[in-house]
C-alpha cells in the first residue's frame, strides 16, 4: 500500500516542477525554492496552508476527491501523474473523459524519422490515428479501408479487425500460429478492458465492446477479466503481391498521450527483409 510519506514526496516534487509562469504568477527574483511556494498552491487549490504542509510531511491522510482534483489542476498533472496522485492518496481516479487521439509533436517527429519501418499509431482503444507510407504498402492504408462497425474513429480498429471484420479483397492478411494467436488475443482484450476502465464515459468505446461481444472468442476472453502486459508478437503478413512476409512486432506505449506505437521488423539479410525493401521503394513515392 502507498504511504503518506510517498504522497508527500510526490506533492513536493510536482510543486517544485511547476514554474510560476505556468500558472500566471510572476517569477520574481527573490524566490529561494524552485517551482511554486506552498502558500501559492494552497491558495489556488482552495485549501489551508497548514493542511498542505501536513500532506507534504505525511501527517494528513485520506484527502478528499475535491482536494485531489484541485491539486491535480494546480500542479498541472498529466493523466499518468494524475492517476499516480489518486493512488498514492488511496483513492480511485475518477473517469477521464474520452479516449485521447492527439499525437504530441515529439511522437510525430519520431514517426516521421522511421520511414524504413512499417509503423502506425493507435489510441488506447486501438483505433488507428496515424501510419506511415510503408505501413500502408504492407497492410493497405487505413484511410481507404472500410473501418466497419465498431470503429471508434475514422481509421479501423485493430481489435475489431481481428475478431469481427472481414479483410477486403486484395489486401494483406495476418497469420499467426496457435500459441501466438492465443497470446495476441488475450493481450488485446486485456488492454481494451484497461481502456474501458480508464474512459468509462466514452460512448464509442462502449459501443465497440458491445459489438465485439457478438464474437464468441472475444466474449469468452472478455469474461476472464485478465490483466496482461502489452508485449511484442510474431506474425506472418500475407501480401497480395509479395506473398508471405514474416515479421516481429513491437509495441511502444506513450503514457502521457495514452497512445500505442506499433512497429514491425524483418530479420536482416532474409527474404522477408528483401520483400520489405521492395515495399520501401514503393513507399518512397507515397506522400504522408
Task: Identify the CA nearest to 242 among candidates 219, 199, 273.
Answer: 273
Q: How far is CA 140 from CA 88, 107, 131, 171, in A?
A: 44, 22, 10, 6
CATH architecture, domain 105-283 = 2-Layer Sandwich (3.30)
Domain residue extents for the chain: 4-88, 105-283
**Could you report the per-residue pLDDT of 260-270, keeping only the tens digit for each?**
999 999 999 99
Query: pLDDT-based confidence at 28, cuts 50/70/90?
Result: low
Superfamily of domain 4-88: lambda repressor-like DNA-binding domains (1.10.260.40)
Task: Look at residue 78 in the predicted model and tell me its pLDDT.
Answer: 83
Based on the number of CB atoms within 10 Å of its own CB, is 153 exposed (0-12), middle (13-18) or buried (19 or more)? middle
**Could you report the per-residue pLDDT of 167-197, keeping only the tens digit for each?**
777 788 899 999 999 999 999 999 999 999 8
Q: Is residue 154 over pLDDT 90?
A: no
Which residues is 243 bridged to in the sheet?
A: 239
Angular region, 254: left φ>0, alpha ψ -120 to 50, beta rest: beta
Task: Look at residue 156 in the predicted model and tell me its pLDDT.
Answer: 84
Mean pLDDT of the chain: 87
Amino acid at each position: 500500500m502507498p504511504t503518506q510519506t510517498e504522497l508527500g514526496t510526490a506533492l513536493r516534487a510536482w510543486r517544485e516542477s511547476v514554474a510560476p509562469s505556468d500558472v500566471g504568477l510572476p517569477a520574481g527574483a527573490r524566490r529561494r525554492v524552485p517551482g511554486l511556494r506552498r502558500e501559492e498552491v494552497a491558495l489556488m487549490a482552495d485549501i489551508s496552508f497548514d493542511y498542505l504542509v501536513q500532506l507534504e510531511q505525511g501527517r494528513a491522510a485520506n484527502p478528499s476527491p475535491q482536494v485531489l482534483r484541485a491539486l491535480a489542476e494546480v500542479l498541472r498533472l498529466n493523466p499518468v501523474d494524475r492517476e499516480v496522485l489518486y493512488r498514492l492518496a488511496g483513492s480511485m481516479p475518477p473517469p477521464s473523459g474520452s479516449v485521447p487521439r492527439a499525437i504530441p509533436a515529439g511522437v510525430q517527429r519520431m514517426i516521421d524519422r522511421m520511414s524504413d519501418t512499417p509503423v502506425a499509431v493507435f489510441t488506447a482503444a486501438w483505433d488507428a490515428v496515424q501510419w506511415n507510407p510503408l505501413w500502408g504498402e504492407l497492410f493497405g492504408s487505413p484511410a481507404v479501408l472500410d473501418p466497419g462497425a465498431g470503429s471508434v474513429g475514422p481509421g479501423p480498429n485493430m481489435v475489431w479487425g481481428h475478431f469481427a471484420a472481414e479483410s477486403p479483397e486484395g489486401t494483406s492478411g495476418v497469420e499467426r500460429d496457435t500459441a501466438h494467436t492465443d497470446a495476441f488475443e488475450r493481450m488485446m482484450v486485456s488492454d481494451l478492458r484497461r481502456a474501458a476502465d480508464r474512459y468509462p464515459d466514452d460512448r464509442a468505446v462502449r459501443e465497440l465492446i458491445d459489438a465485439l461481444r457478438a464474437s464468441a472468442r472475444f466474449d469468452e476472453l472478455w469474461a476472464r477479466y485478465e490483466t496482461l502486459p502489452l508485449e511484442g508478437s510474431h506474425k506472418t503478413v500475407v501480401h497480395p503481391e509479395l506473398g508471405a512476409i514474416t515479421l516481429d512486432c513491437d509495441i511502444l506505449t506513450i503514457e502521457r498521450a495514452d497512445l500505442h506505437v506499433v512497429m514491425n521488423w524483418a530479420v536482416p539479410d532474409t527474404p522477408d527483409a528483401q520483400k520489405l525493401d521492395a515495399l520501401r521503394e514503393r513507399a518512397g513515392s507515397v506522400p504522408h
